[in-house]
């Protein structure tokens, strides 16, 4: 039942009255909760577009079931009951809201509706376009040029008297010499906080460990509602005028002229464009989208107004909004849709990424049907399941993201998401090492999703060093199906004719490739281990493993505790190595490599006994001047020391270079000896 509370393509017409009423009540509850949070607490709980969607769902229900409209429906109400801390003031002229259009068709329809109410001679009037400033509406009164009162919009009929706080806004004129003869001038506009001031304010709040504001609009609202005008005065607010509601000189006949006049007499107004057809309005709207990020303040669209004030009067008002103006809002950046399913994708390096399959939805101007859920931890953090309604956010070029899960809408039969135990591509076991966010497929050498990456790594200079087999050719052979796993490289000599056909390679080039492959068969155990591309096993770890185990078989058979004895191998890497050698397909590929003739000289295991640093455990941190950390590590190991990654009570010494951080602090705390670079160089004899 709760399923269709939010806009979904479900059929509402078959539902019985009770269900409709329940849906309406739930929507009303959510809208009211948000209205209070937004208008009274200045602390919204929903994105504007989410709020719009909830309202739209309610409007649709009310249109479809007019008999069931609830008496307290918030649809025709503006704002919320004002806070009682300020005096309440009834507006002379109600402060209304604006209707919205979201695309060119909507805009066209708006202009058509205007035409429908105009005579033949008045058709296709001129329109004036302004920026839709994202602050809060305020009405100002001036008597004979003297500022006397500022009132918030409140519920549209009654607002709050914020005169004292408004006086502190620096660009707001307190005296208008050009309006000194006007008995009562009422100017309306938007109080906002420019982006730079907002960032400064939040930075300061963070430093003082105070509450930060969610966005400039809330910061502006919160500042105006300060009971202490001194605090309000310290806030970087600005006032932008957008209409004259009483006292406009008669000779002014258009909205654009009214704004020009406001500017002349001392107000700040934002950009204005006058157009004569919907196309031009669209072009201007699109140009504003392009430049909105460069503006010093936030806007959420444009406002399109019939320019002639006489026509405005003729067109009049609907209950909540003028017929002569509409907001052309920017595409919603957060929308609500259903997450139909969660699929797991295997990346080139074996990580499993959950991808949310969405009911396609337009967000930030493009249709989105997939959204990354990053990793299993994120799924747990969001507590998201297939079938949930979710809010999806996409701004600019940033990839879409699930920002909220509507748990209250969860279908009764939904199941928690589990991590697949086997790779969806190659069926090898999947592991999620303790403390890691990313689950991985262990079939590194075999998994088709990872093969290309595995091949490129395998032939690279520091691995098997098959110099003659460039990456481009390798990928082409892969794409032609000549090589799938790294073991297939050693079968390429059986496909020389194919190489010549596919790649138009000359015989000489083919011979070069084949002989480079042949040469690579003689390698070292360390290189071979590195070439396997086990996650977490870089060159140094591969060398350490070769030293520690001496033979491939014993490395392959090692349990996690034994692996942990290896310098540089921590819990996560140990698990990754262990599981790599447990994936049956990896073993097949290794067997094929050995069968094809890959071999290495016996490893000379350095006997640490008798070496000066035998039995010592070192940690290296910070940047060294004279060499890379790996080099320093090799030197210490050559002297018999174990070099590990983290400081503990068992650490013999910490080699600390420049900008040493937490490891140095820890060593000092544990009383571990700290060795500087000079002392180290003396020790290793450099
Ligand atoms: S004109 C009869 N012009 O948008 C209403 N409003 O969604 C006339 N707003 O309450 C409003 N920039 O707070 C107008 N250039 C602009 C505006 C603007 C922002 C706000 C205003 C209004 C809300 C309606």
pLDDT score at 121: 96
What are 250-288's pLDDT values in tens digits? 999 999 999 999 999 999 999 999 999 999 999 999 999
If you measure from the C-alpha of residue 39 to the centroid of ligand 1, how many angstroms do you get, rounded to a whole number? Answer: 15
pLDDT band at 9 (very low <50, low <70, confident <90, very high): very low
Catalytic residue of the set 12, 33, 132, 180: 132
All structural domains of the chain with their residue ranges: 18-75, 88-329, 334-431, 452-600, 617-685
For residue 8, pLDDT beyond 60: no
| 40 vs 349, higher pLDDT | 349
**Given this model, what pLDDT does residue 83 score?**
47
Q: How far is the CA of 132 from the centre of ligand 1 (A)?
A: 6
Tell whether domain 617-685 is in CATH 3.40.50.10190. Answer: yes
Tell me, using a 6 A CB cutoff, whether residue 96 lines ligand 1: yes
Mean pLDDT of 17-43: 81
Query: Which one of 49, 91, 190, 329 would you pick to mutate in the ligand 1 pocket, going by the greatest count of ligand atoms within 8 A of its CB?
Result: 190
Range of lowest pLDDT (79-93, 181-195, 447-461) = 79-93
Q: What is the reported pLDDT for 586? A: 94
**Strand duo 389-393 + 334-346: pairing:** antiparallel
Q: What local confidence, expressed as pLDDT, does residue 447 receive? A: 92
Q: What is the pLDDT of residue 1?
A: 34
Centre of ligand 1 from the C-alpha of residue 227, in Å:
25
- Most confident by average pLDDT, 24-33, 204-213, 308-317, 492-501: 308-317
> What topology does CATH give the domain 334-431?
OB fold (Dihydrolipoamide Acetyltransferase, E2P) (2.40.50)
Name which residue sits closest to atom 3 of ligand 1, judged by CA.
Answer: 242
The response to whether residue 242 sits with its C-beta less than 6 Å from ligand 1 reads yes
User: What's residue 2's pLDDT?
Assistant: 38
DSSP-H helix ranges across 521-672 = 525-531, 539-549, 552-557, 560-564, 571-580, 584-595, 629-638, 662-670
Q: How confident is the model at residue 314 (pLDDT cuts 50, 70, 90)?
A: very high
- Model confidence at 10, pLDDT cuts 50, 70, 90, reads very low
Burial 471-500 (b: 16+ CB within 10 A, else e): eebbebbbeeebbbbbbbbbebbebeebbe
Q: Quick one: pLDDT band at residue 473, thresholds 50, 70, 90?
A: confident
| Mean pLDDT (the chain, rounded) | 89
Please indicate whether residue 661 or residue 265 has the higher confidence score (pLDDT): 265
**Res 528 pLDDT > 90:** yes
Is the per-residue pLDDT at 606 higher than 80? no
Confirm or reject: Cβ of 241 under 6 Å from ligand 1: no
Band (pLDDT 50/70/90 cuts) for residue 79 is low
Pick among 3.30.70.890, 1.20.120.530, 1.10.287.610, 3.20.10.10: CATH of 18-75: 1.10.287.610
Q: Is the shortest distance between the CB of 137 and ligand 1 below 6 Å?
A: yes
Tens-place pLDDT, residues 648-658: 888 999 999 98
Q: Probe ligand 1: pick from 242, 297, 328, max atoms within 8 Å of CB? A: 242
For the segment 419-443, the average pLDDT, to the nearest whole number, is 90
333/607 Cα distance (integer angstroms):
63
* Atom of ligand 1 minimally distant from the CA of 270: 15
| Ligand 1 binding pocket mutation candidate from 139, 303, 309 (most atoms within 8 A of CB) | 303
Q: Is 217 in the pocket of ligand 1 (CB under 6 A)?
A: no
Check if CATH label 3.40.50.300 holds for domain 88-329. no
What is the structure's pLDDT at 30?
87
- Fold type of domain 452-600: DNA polymerase; domain 1 (1.10.150)
Verify whether ligand 1 is closer than 6 Å to residue 98 (CB atom): yes
Render pLDDT for 480-510 as a digit per residue (tens, 0 to 9).
889 999 999 999 999 888 888 776 778 888 8
More confident residue, 505 or 473: 473
- Ligand 1 neighbour 327 (Cβ under 6 A): yes
Mind listing the pLDDT tens digit for each residue in 326-374?
999 998 888 899 999 999 999 888 999 999 999 999 888 889 999 999 9
Grade residue 129 by pLDDT with cuts at 50, 70 and 90.
very high
Q: Please indicate whether residue 577, judged by its CB atom, sits closer than 6 Å to ligand 1.
A: no
What is the pLDDT confidence band of residue 567, given thresholds at 50, 70 and 90?
confident
132 in active site: yes
Residue 104 banded pLDDT, cuts 50, 70, 90: very high
Distance 171 CA to ligand 1 centre (A): 19
**Terminal Cα distance for the chain, rounded:** 77
pLDDT at 587: 95
Token pair of 270 as six digits = 């934002």
**What own/partner pairs with CB < 8 Å and gap ≥ 24 does 415-423 have?**
415/385, 415/386, 416/385, 417/342, 417/354, 417/376, 417/379, 417/384, 417/385, 417/386, 419/352, 419/376, 420/344, 420/352, 423/346, 423/352, 423/447, 423/449
Contact 447, 345 (CB under 8 A): no
What would the 3-class secondary structure string for 361-421 be? EEECCEEEEEEECCCHHHHHHHCCCCCCEEEEECCCCCCCEEEEECHHHCCCCCCCCCCCC
- Whether the pLDDT of residue 11 is over 80: the answer is no
């Amino acid at each position: 039942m709760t399923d269709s509370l939010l806009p979904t393509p479900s059929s509402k017409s078959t539902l019985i009255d009770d269900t409709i009423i329940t849906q309406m009540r739930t929507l009303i509850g959510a809208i009211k909760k948000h209205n209070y949070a937004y208008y009274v607490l200045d602390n919204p709980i929903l994105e504007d577009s989410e709020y719009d969607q909830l309202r739209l769902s309610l409007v649709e229900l009310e249109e479809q079931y007019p008999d069931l409209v609830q008496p307290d429906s918030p649809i025709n109400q503006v704002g919320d009951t004002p806070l009682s801390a300020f005096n309440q003031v009834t507006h002379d002229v109600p402060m209304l809201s604006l209707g919205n259009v979201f695309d060119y068709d909507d805009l066209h329809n708006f202009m058509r509706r205007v035409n429908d109410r105009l005579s033949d001679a008045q058709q296709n009037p001129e329109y004036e376009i302004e920026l839709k400033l994202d602050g809060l509406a305020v009405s100002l009164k001036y008597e004979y040029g003297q500022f006397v009162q500022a009132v918030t919009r409140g519920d549209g009929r009654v607002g709050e008297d914020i005169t004292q706080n408004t006086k502190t806004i620096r660009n707001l004129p307190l005296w208008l010499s050009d309006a000194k003869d006007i008995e009562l001038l009422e100017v309306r506009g938007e109080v906002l906080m420019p982006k730079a001031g907002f960032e400064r304010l939040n930075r300061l709040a963070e430093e003082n460990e105070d509450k930060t504001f969610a966005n400039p609009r809330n910061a502006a609202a919160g500042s105006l509602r300060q009971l202490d005008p001194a605090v309000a005065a310290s806030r970087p607010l600005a006032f932008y005028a957008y209409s004259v509601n009483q006292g406009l000189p008669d000779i002014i006949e258009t909205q654009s002229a009214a704004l020009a006049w406001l500017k002349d007499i001392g107000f700040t107004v934002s950009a204005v464009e006058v157009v004569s057809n919907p196309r031009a309005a669209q072009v201007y709207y699109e140009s504003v989208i392009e430049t909105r990020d460069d503006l010093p303040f936030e806007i959420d669209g444009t406002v399109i107004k019939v320019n002639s004030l006489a026509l405005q009067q003729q067109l009049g008002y609907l209950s909540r909004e003028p017929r002569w103006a509409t907001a052309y809002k920017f595409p919603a950046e957060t929308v609500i849709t259903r997450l139909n399913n969660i699929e797991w994708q295997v990346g080139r390096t074996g990580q499993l990424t959950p991808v949310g399959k969405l009911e396609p939805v337009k967000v930030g101007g493009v249709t989105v049907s997939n959204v990354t859920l990053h990793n299993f931890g994120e799924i747990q953090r969001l507590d998201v399941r297939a079938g949930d309604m979710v809010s999806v956010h996409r701004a600019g070029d940033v990839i879409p993201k699930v920002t909220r899960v509507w748990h209250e809408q969860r279908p009764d039969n939904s199941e928690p998401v589990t991590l697949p135990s086997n790779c969806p591509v190659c069926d090898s076991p999947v592991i999620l090492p303790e403390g890691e966010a990313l689950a991985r497929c262990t079939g590194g050498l075999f998994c088709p999703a990872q093969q290309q990456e595995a091949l490129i790594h395998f032939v690279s200079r520091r691995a098997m060093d098959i110099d003659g087999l460039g990456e481009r050719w390798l990928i082409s052979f892969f794409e032609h199906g000549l090589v799938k796993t790294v073991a297939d490289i050693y079968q390429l000599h059986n496909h020389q004719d194919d190489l010549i056909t596919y790649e138009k390679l000359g015989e000489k080039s083919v011979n070069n490739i084949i002989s480079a492959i042949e040469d690579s068969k003689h390698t070292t155990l360390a290189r071979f281990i590195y070439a396997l591309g086990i996650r977490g096993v870089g060159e140094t770890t591969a060398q350490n493993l070769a030293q520690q185990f001496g033979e491939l078989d014993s490395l392959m058979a090692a349990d996690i505790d034994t692996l942990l004895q290896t310098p540089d191998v921590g819990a996560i890497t140990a698990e990754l190595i262990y599981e790599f050698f447990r994936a049956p397909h990896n073993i097949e590929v290794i067997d094929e490599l050995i069968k094809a003739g890959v071999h290495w000289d016996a490893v000379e295991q350095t006997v640490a006994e008798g070496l000066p640093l035998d039995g010592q455990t070192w940690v290296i941190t910070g940047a060294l001047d004279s060499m890379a950390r790996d080099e320093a590590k090799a030197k210490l190991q050559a002297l018999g020391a174990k070099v590990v990654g983290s400081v503990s009570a068992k650490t013999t010494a910490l080699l600390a270079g420049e900008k040493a951080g937490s490891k140095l602090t820890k060593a000092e705390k544990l009383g571990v000896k700290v060795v500087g670079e000079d002392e180290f160089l003396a020790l290793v004899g450099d």
